Amino acid sequence: MTNSNVLKDSEIELVSHARITAIGAYVPERKITNADMEQMVDTSDEWIVQRTGIHERRAVRDGEFTSDMCIRAVEDMRANYSVNVEDVDMILVATNTPDVPFPSVAAIVQAHFGIASTGTLDINATCAGFAYGLHLANGLISAGLHRKILVFGADTLTRVTDYTDRTTCILFGDGAGVVMVERDMGNGAFQAVTLGTDGTGGKHVYRSGARKELHGAELVGEGNIVQNGREVYRFAVSTVPKGVAALLEQTGGTADQIDWFVPHSANLRIIESICEKTGIPIEKALYSLEYYGNTSAASIPLAIHLGVQEGKVKPGDNMLLFGFGGGLTYTGLMLRWM
């Protein structure tokens, strides 16, 4: 059934009275190198790097959870920016690996910092979650409902990884990133958005739970991540270039006006293919997979944080963020950095 009231991306007029004012990140100290992976499954450093671009990934220690990483990310942000969290009026945490089903990770973060009065919400859009969170934050602030929002991308994927599956266990790591999004009536930074879902593809990448079947496919994995890499690759390299084109159409810009392209850090070969199809030079791509692995919702903020630390990302830069993953779901954003 076709709904004639649904807007096409080219018809969306994005309103923005919000901008990012600070960023923080945290990754656990423990490293899982490719040499370590060689001791777990039949693989090699050369095979992993050639197919994914990953050299190592980080893993939480016993007793360390997603909320702990979020808290450390806020501490990193406060150490580097003059921001207060005491007056935050909404906390959005993009994650598919909460400490417990409830209370939310956002509520645990609120309790730790003793924020007196704030909304708290976890978002599960897997690898598109952080971009989704930014879109929601801009909407809530621009609608006049909130003034100051913390947006996290955080996951502990090593806890839901099958380390007997050589095709997936080489990919995943843990980490967290956070940004502060604040109201700014005269300097809104969000320029364009595109998002969508192909729910029929959910059977290609999932984490099993109570349900044992989805769209005619048996769900396996006993609570761990299960992924059809070929199908996910096909989804990414066909969907993201179309999304990039939709964002450029909304802004009336061209690929050479993008200062930094920040896709989900799933696999370097996927990023290379997307860059080739979109005409965005790979040198303009920021990614965090090389030493952090695929961290799902955390991969985009971690990549931006690395870019800031390395002196690449500057205030005023035009950035194109694009998350994609389980669902199959995607979210792309054009924004001006700070």
Active site residues: 127, 264, 294
Size of the chain, expressed as the number of residues it contains:
338
Token pair in block for residue 146: 């909130």
Residues 6+ apart with CB under 8 A from 58: 27, 28, 29, 30, 31, 32, 173, 174, 175, 291, 292, 293
3-state secondary structure of 207: strand
Cα torsion through 119, 120, 121, 127, rounded to 10: 120
Residues paired with 91 in a beta bridge = 120, 150
- Compute CA 100 distance to the chain's CA centroid, rounded to the nearest angstrom: 20
Cβ-contact 122, 95 below 8 angstroms:
yes
Identify whether the C-beta of residue 189 lies closer than 8 Å to the C-beta of residue 320.
no
